[in-house]
């Protein structure tokens, strides 16, 4: 055996390794040095181990030194034990928070590894098409825990290939991902010795290619079906549901695993893709449960047996025990003979214990990496494209930037679209503006499923009225979107204050209670049926320009006392039907010095000049007496003038008198 740990002169005494599919390996290497070693500089450094037989390489191990300890000092030298692990060890030591959008799991894994500076990953065996995930959050997880969780959900697993100068993570997705290893086959031989020594080689030959024990284990997992369900708000009447099923080994293998939420509503390339994602996740879960239904445990001295490779078992007396198998785990114990003990020291002792499943069994990792949960609400800032103050979609959703998000993603790509909870039922729409601070909750505590549930003030966005001075006010004020416009002909109702907003305000201070409504531009009120309004005291109205009132039928007004109307310009009244004006006491019409006074006792017309014109006939009737007085002169003009004293007998004026033209006029 040999070990390379830089410039140190050491001898490898013993190797104990443990490796398993979808689990980082660990190698414990016992070394001896003639000199005392400072282990601190070796931490994090690569270490390569090689197992040789007669100059032939049997197995390599490669990793990073993650720990070391001084064991003892003997005549052979100073004894140390090194713990060697893969690079995943260091990816599991951080805690990170990040957002990934519209990426497949493989793309996310690549990005995480590349950001960590890791290049030793083989993706070539992942050939199945994968659907992008709309929104995925790494939330207070290490990089390795994050990618492990995603790969477990997707049914992706891995093992490591050990080279002389590196170790490579091989990502797999099924039986086709695995190749034959070395040795290609193991012959069952229960009588082969357990310690591979020179003496055993002379008696049995290449014992390393033999299988000493081969134990079958069968187990009832009982799962026959996995149902995955979720809710998609864009199709609320069509619940998302997908199933994956398989044949049971016996009649009781008929149990169902029901999963909710399935967490596959973010795949928005089409509903078919959503359902396929649900089936894939259900199948991955079912495969993980059923992979352990038939397993095998074996021991051998074939040091080359490696997790992730296939091996054929032959010559077992029970035919069902022979066949091709996938090694799912292996524990190696390789010990050199006592160093400088005076005994035989040129041969190694091998012992390999491994587990396997039939090569055609689909292996999937179990969902062991816990999904992070958000404990309570989080605060975030609403975002949008540059220059935009309201950024939303047809559902009234917004995008936010969480305070923990360190990426420089543009505002319109900061998060997925997030639904906004509205107060007052579904008829209420109040959209958070860009820059506002909002409170975000998470459905089932899942960071991938955010929901805006509230808004709060901060120093950048203070309450609209100073507090606590105006603590008795309840206010609903909006803010004008875009240019507010110029309205030069309007008359401000707020003493010239430039509000650029609409507002409804409630003042609850005793003695000053008030409901205030301000419309920055137009105000429209629509009443489908009746409207009633009662003002207990005074009402003042001011219209800056024009007012138009249209009443479809009758208009009735009752005024308890006086009414005064002042028209600065003209006043017109047009009645298509009958106009009736009635007063219980009097009616006065006045224009300058001209007055018409009507009261129950009579009508008085008083003016410097009164003229009555009738184009055809003018009749003046007096019930008892009619007087026409001219203090200076009375003129009656007419081609024929008749004075008919009705009811008088013949006499001087008893008969009708016809008067000719006045003297001097004809």
- 662 vs 175, higher pLDDT: 175
Q: What is the pLDDT of residues 146-160, one digit of tens each?
A: 999 999 999 999 999
Mean pLDDT of the chain: 86
pLDDT digits (tens, 9 = 90+) for 11-23: 888 999 999 999 9
Beta carbons within 10 angstroms of residue 385's beta carbon: 12
For 194-213, how does the pLDDT look when each residue is reduced to its tens digit (9 = 90+)? Answer: 444 444 444 444 445 899 99
The most confident of the ranges 24-33, 34-43, 489-498 is 24-33
What's residue 200's pLDDT? 46
pLDDT in tens, 610-634: 888 888 888 888 777 888 888 888 8
* pLDDT at residue 501, rounded to an integer: 86
pLDDT exceeds cutoff 70 at 263 = yes
Residue 344 has pLDDT above 50, yes or no: no
pLDDT surpasses 60 at 269: no
- Cβ atoms of residues 335 and 348 within 8 Å: yes
Cβ count near 33 (within 10 Å): 16
pLDDT tens digits for 547-601?
Answer: 999 999 999 999 899 999 999 999 999 999 999 998 999 999 999 999 999 999 8
Q: Is the pLDDT confidence value at 664 over 80?
A: no
Q: Is the pTM of this model over 0.85?
A: no
Helix (H) or strand (E) holding 282: helix 271-290
pLDDT score recorded for residue 503: 92
Tokens at 19, concatenated: 């490796």
What is the reported pLDDT for 40?
A: 92
Share of the chain above pLDDT 90, in %: 58
- β-strand pairing of 133-141 with 641-643: unpaired
Q: What is the pLDDT of residues 420-454, one digit of tens each?
A: 998 877 788 999 999 999 999 999 999 999 999 99
Q: What is the mean pLDDT of residues 62-90?
A: 94
Say whether 192 sits in a helix, a strand or coil.
coil
Question: Rounded CA gap, 97 and 112, in Å?
Answer: 11
Q: Which residues contact 640 (CB under 8 A, 6 or more apart)?
A: 658
* Residue 267: per-residue pLDDT: 53
**SS3 call for 107:** helix
Highest-confidence segment of 96-110, 196-210, 402-416, 636-650:
96-110
Task: Categorize the per-residue pLDDT at 6 as very low, low, confident or very high, splitting at 50, 70 and 90.
Answer: low
Count other Cβ atoms within 10 Å, centred on residue 281.
22
Dihedral (CA of 139, 144, 146, 147) sign: positive
Count CB neighbours of 608 within 10 A: 7
Print the SS3 string covering 385-447. Answer: CCCCCCCCCCCCCEEEEECCCCCCCCHHHCCCCECECCCCCCCCCCCCCCCCEEEEEEHHHCC
């Amino acid at each position: 055996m040999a070990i390379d740990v830089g410039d140190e002169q050491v001898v490898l005494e013993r190797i104990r390794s443990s490796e398993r599919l979808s689990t980082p390996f660990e190698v414990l290497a016992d070394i001896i040095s003639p000199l005392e070693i400072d282990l601190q500089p070796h931490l994090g450094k690569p270490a390569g181990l090689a197992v040789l037989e007669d100059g032939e390489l049997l197995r390599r191990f490669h990793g990073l030194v993650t720990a070391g300890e001084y064991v003892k000092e003997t005549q052979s030298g100073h004894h140390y034990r090194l713990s060697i692990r893969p690079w995943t060890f260091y990816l599991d030591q951080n805690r990170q928070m990040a957002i990934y959008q519209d990426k497949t799991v493989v793309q996310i894994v690549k990005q995480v590894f590349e950001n960590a500076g890791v290049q030793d990953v083989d993706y070539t065996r992942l050939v199945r098409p994968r659907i992008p995930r709309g929104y995925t959050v790494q939330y207070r997880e290490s990089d390795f825990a994050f990618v492990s969780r995603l790969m477990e959900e997707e049914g992706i697993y891995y093992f490591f290939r050990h080279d002389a100068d590196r170790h490579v993570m091989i990502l797999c997705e099924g039986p086709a991902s695995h190749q034959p290893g070395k040795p290609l086959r193991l012959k069952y031989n229960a009588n082969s010795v357990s310690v591979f020594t020179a003496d055993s080689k002379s008696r049995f030959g290449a014992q390393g290619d033999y299988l000493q024990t081969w134990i079958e284990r069968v187990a009832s997992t009982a799962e026959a079906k996995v149902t995955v369900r979720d809710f998609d708000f864009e199709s609320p009447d069509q619940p998302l549901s997908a199933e994956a099923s398989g044949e049971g080994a016996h009649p009781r293998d008929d149990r169902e695993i029901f999963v909710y939420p399935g967490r596959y509503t973010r795949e928005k390339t089409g509903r078919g893709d959503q359902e396929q994602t649900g089936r894939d996740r259900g199948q991955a879960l079912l495969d993980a449960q059923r992979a352990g239904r038939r397993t095998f445990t074996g021991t051998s001295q074939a040091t080359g047996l490696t997790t992730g490779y296939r091996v054929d078992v032959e010559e077992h007396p029970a035919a069902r025990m022979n066949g091709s198998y996938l090694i799912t785990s292996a524990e190696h114990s390789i010990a050199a003979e006592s160093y400088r003990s005076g005994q035989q020291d040129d041969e190694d002792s091998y012992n390999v214990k491994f587990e396997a499943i039939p090569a055609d069994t689909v292996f999937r990792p179990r969902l062991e990496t816990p999904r992070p949960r958000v404990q309570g609400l989080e605060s975030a800032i609403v975002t949008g494209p540059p220059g935009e103050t309201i950024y939303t979609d047809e559902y009234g959703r917004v995008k936010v930037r969480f305070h923990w998000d360190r990426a420089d993603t543009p505002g319109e790509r900061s998060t997925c679209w997030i639904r906004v909870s509205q107060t007052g039922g579904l008829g209420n729409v109040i959209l958070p503006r860009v820059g506002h601070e909002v409170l975000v909750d998470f459905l089932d505590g899942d960071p991938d499923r955010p929901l805006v549930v509230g808004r709060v003030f901060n120093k950048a966005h203070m309450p609209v009225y100073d507090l606590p001075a105006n603590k008795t006010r309840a206010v609903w004020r909006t803010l004008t979107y875009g240019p507010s416009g110029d309205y030069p002909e309007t008359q401000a109702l707020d003493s010239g204050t430039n509000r650029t907003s609409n507002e409804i305000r409630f003042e609850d201070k005793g003695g000053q209670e008030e409901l205030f409504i301000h419309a920055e531009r137009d105000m429209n009120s629509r009443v489908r049926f009746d409207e009633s309004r009662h003002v207990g005291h005074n009402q003042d109205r001011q219209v800056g320009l024009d007012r138009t009132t249209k009443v479809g039928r009758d208009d009735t007004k009752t005024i308890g006392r006086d009414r005064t109307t002042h028209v600065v310009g003209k006043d017109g009244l047009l009645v298509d039907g009958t106009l009736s004006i009635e007063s219980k006491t009097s009616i006065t019409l006045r224009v300058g010095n001209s007055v018409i006074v009507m009261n129950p006792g009579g009508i008085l017309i008083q003016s410097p000049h009164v003229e009555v014109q009738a184009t055809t006939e003018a009749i003046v009737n007096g019930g008892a007496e009619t007087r026409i007085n001219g203090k200076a002169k009375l003129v009656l003009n007419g081609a024929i003038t008749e004075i008919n004293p009705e009811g008088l007998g013949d006499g001087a004026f008893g008969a009708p008198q016809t008067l000719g033209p006045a003297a001097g006029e004809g």
